[in-house]
Amino acid sequence: MSIDLDLRHYLSIIRKRVWLLIAIVILSTTVTGVVSYKYLQPVYQAYTKLIVNSANDKPGMVQLDLNAINTNISLINTYKEIIRTPAIMDKVVAQHPEFKVTTDELMRNINFTSVNGTQVVTLSYPSTNYKAAARIVNAISEVFQAQIPNIMKVDNVYLLHMANENKQPAPIKPNPKLNMAIMFVLSFMFGIGLVLLLDYFDDRIKSEADVERYLGLPTLVQIPSIRQVDLRGAQKTKTTAKAGEQSRAAN
Amino acid sequence: MQPTNQFSVSNTRPIITDLNPLSPISEAYRTLRTNLQYAGVDRSLQLLMVTSASPREGKTTTINNLAAAYAQADKSVLLIDADLRKPTAHQTFQLSNRCGLTHVLAGNASAREAVKETHIRNLSVMPSGSIPPNPSELLASRKMDLLLDELRQMFDLVLIDTPPVLAVSDAQIMASRCDGVLLVINAKSVKRQHALKARDALHFVQAKIVGVAMNQTAASELNGYYSYMQASAE
């Protein structure tokens, strides 16, 4: 029962400042929407797919034993680290000065993922310009493929799929709807917190219960604010009475 | 016993109990009147003082309406404006302030001369008189005790309007001579600490606080009854 009362108490506190809560939620969600749609530059992502597979020493012989596959899969982790080294990236920058990117930028942005248990690796690169992203990720893949035999003494990286720079895919971010949904929830929580905090710091005596609790005095009456309407009530009744009299006189 | 409406709405402090007796707000003042009658069971509340912690909480509005409500109940009521710092009763009731409380206390007039009839039947008002340089001393004087005793004989009920408790000591001085004190609390403005201080100040002079009148509460609390009131008014 006390939980029930508590809940009702909180609800009444929130209801008292519900306009504040609504204002915060609407304002922050709208601002997020406007910023996401109008001001944030869309970011695109280009990707290439590589496969890591040991070269067949003996042509014409099918060599697909589980050990070899496992070896390749564990190699993927090694490659993941190799690609993020200047050994690869410096070469990309040197070969393609037109990208106007630094080694650090490339190392920070390149994404190297592989689905567990497969030999396929996805290299992806985000940019506000899809064409640039496609060219960069293609260049990285090519340099990587060319450099691996030098580094690992094994030529086992093949390009499966190159990014097509003429395609224009949907941007990966921003996602305005998701941003707005997140902001809606966040601002709602923030608003409720603010309302409760304001009530906590509000030390006015607002109700009969407050009078009893803080002053220990009985409340004899609660007088609402007098509005102009309340004063005009008397005149209204007067005019209707007059109208009634007139109609009676007419009869 | 419907009082005549001589006042325009544009008046600075309209008395709603008088202007619009059917309003739910007037009903609130009648409720206050009823509750006060029962609050003074052990000791009759003949001298009732109204005060508040801080200025602008609605003391004067409350006391004016309460006085009108008592007068409507066929009691002879006197309203004394003992707020010698900011007197307003003479304006509200459109009376001369040439002869009032301070003149009686100074010995320049008799109580009967200072008491004035108002347009509301049964309701008399003693305006403040000219503003003195030493209100606290005047209110604390022996003359004041004599005056109050005299007024007790003349009226069923004497309501005394005073300055805020926390501002000046006048209210405390008067409270010790009254049968009861009604504390007006403005639900929109008063700080808990101020209300507590005011209560303690009144308790300190052994005043009997009969209760609290919450002023300016949200109108929604009365809405439930409002339709009922209007229906009965038809």
In this predicted structure, what is the pLDDT of residue A188? 94
Whether B190 sits inside 8 A of A203 (CB atoms) is: no
**Nearby residues of B212 by Cβ (< 8 Å), 6 or more positions away:** A211, A215, A217, A218, A219, A220, B182, B183, B184, B185
Note whether A203 contacts B191, CB cutoff 8 Å. Answer: yes
Asked if B186 and B58 count as a contact pair (C-beta separation under 8 A), the reply is: yes
Residue A223 confidence (pLDDT): 87
The answer, yes or no, to whether residue A4 has pLDDT greater than 80, is no
Name the residue among B21, B25, B35 with its Cβ closest to that of A226.
B25
pLDDT greater at residue A83 or residue B67: B67
Residue B132 to residues A39, A183, B159, Cα–Cα distance (Å) = 69, 63, 21
CA distance A64 to B16: 99
pTM score, two decimals?
A: 0.65
Domains and CATH numbers, chain A: 13-40+174-202 (no CATH), 44-161 (3.30.70)
Give the pLDDT of residue A165.
Answer: 76
**Class of residue A77 by CB neighbours under 10 A (exposed 0-12, middle 13-18, buried 19+):** exposed
d(CA A215, CA B197): 10
Q: Which residues of chain A make contact with B190, given a CB cutoff of 8 A?
A: 204-205
A217 phi and psi angles, rounded to 5 deg: -115, 150
Please state the rounded mean pLDDT for residues A208-217: 85
Residue from the list B188, B195, B211 with its beta carbon closest to the beta carbon of A219: B211
Q: Which residue of B has its CA nearest to A204?
A: B191
Enumerate residues 6+ apart whose C-beta is below 8 A from B162: B49, B50, B51, B59, B82, B83, B170, B171, B174, B175
- Give every residue of chain B whose pLDDT is below 50, as ranges: 1-11, 231-234
Region of B2 on the Ramachandran plot (φ > 0 left; ψ -120 to 50 alpha; else beta): beta
Identify whether A174 is preceded by a cis peptide bond (ω within 30 of 0): yes
201-220 in chain A: CB under 8 A from chain B: 203-208, 210-211, 214-215, 217-220
More confident call, A133 vs A243 = A133
Assign 3-class secondary structure to B194-210.
HHHHHHHHHHHCCCCEE
C-alpha A157 chain-centroid distance = 36
Over residues A14-31, the pLDDT tens digits come to 888 899 999 999 999 999
Least confident piece of the model among A36-40, A182-186, A229-233, B155-159? A229-233
Q: Which of A207, A221, A239 to mutate to test the interface with B (most CBs of B within 10 A)?
A: A221
Q: Is the pLDDT of residue A242 over 50?
A: no
Residues of chain A neighbouring B58 (CB-CB closer than 8 A): 223
Q: Which of A220, A229, A230, A238 to mutate to test the interface with B (most CBs of B within 10 A)?
A: A220
Quick check: B211 and A220 CB within 8 A?
A: yes
What per-residue confidence (pLDDT) applies to A145? 84
Q: Which of A210, A223, A225, A237 has the highest number of chain B CBs within 10 A, making it the mutation to test binding with B?
A: A223
pLDDT, mean over chain A: 79
Verify whether the Cβ–Cβ distance B185 to A211 is below 8 Å.
yes
The answer to whether residue A246 scores a pLDDT higher than 70 is: no
